[in-house]
Amino acid sequence: MHIVINTLLLLAIRLKAFGLLGLMLQVIPSKRPWVANKLLSIGYLEQSSMILKAFQPRTEYAQRLKERVDSMEKIRANGLNFPVVQKKRQGEKNILLALHNSLPYDKAGYAIRSHMLATNLIKQGIQLTATTRPGY
């Protein structure tokens, strides 16, 4: 069944004949959320939205998918509005450096780069605390 649906879906997309897709969705209503998700995953937001708006979601999965597509459409229509961030005051220069591994226990490239980075930051007057992962 999935092979038939995949084939019809790809055919509808390639031909841009979403009338065929609509016919398929009338024949197999339980596959509407699946088809909408497939369309969304390959970049057809508008068509995915059309499918989800035309039919009442019957499952929690379909409802969540509809909410996700609706929020994407809202962002597409209105853009993202981020609040203006006030510049933070500059205080003391303290850094916590979390290391995966460190010298002298590991002499891998990561440990050497981390050691050189920490050494140079300290030379620039930055107060630095380095720690390794728990259990290291």
Residue 64 has pLDDT above 90, yes or no: yes
Which pLDDT tens digit goes with each residue over 6-22? 666 665 665 555 555 55
Residue with token string 């979403």: 18
Greatest CA separation for the chain: 71
Q: Which residue has the higher pLDDT, 6 or 110?
A: 110
Tokens of 13: 């997309």
Q: Checking DSSP bridges between strand 94-99 and strand 127-132, what pairing results, if any? A: parallel
Q: Rounded to whole angstroms, how far apart are CA atoms 96 and 16? A: 54
pLDDT at 81: 77
Q: What is the mean pLDDT of the chain?
A: 78
Q: Where exactly are the structural domains of the chain? A: 2-78, 94-132
Which pLDDT tens digit goes with each residue over 18-52? 555 555 566 577 778 888 888 888 888 888 888 88
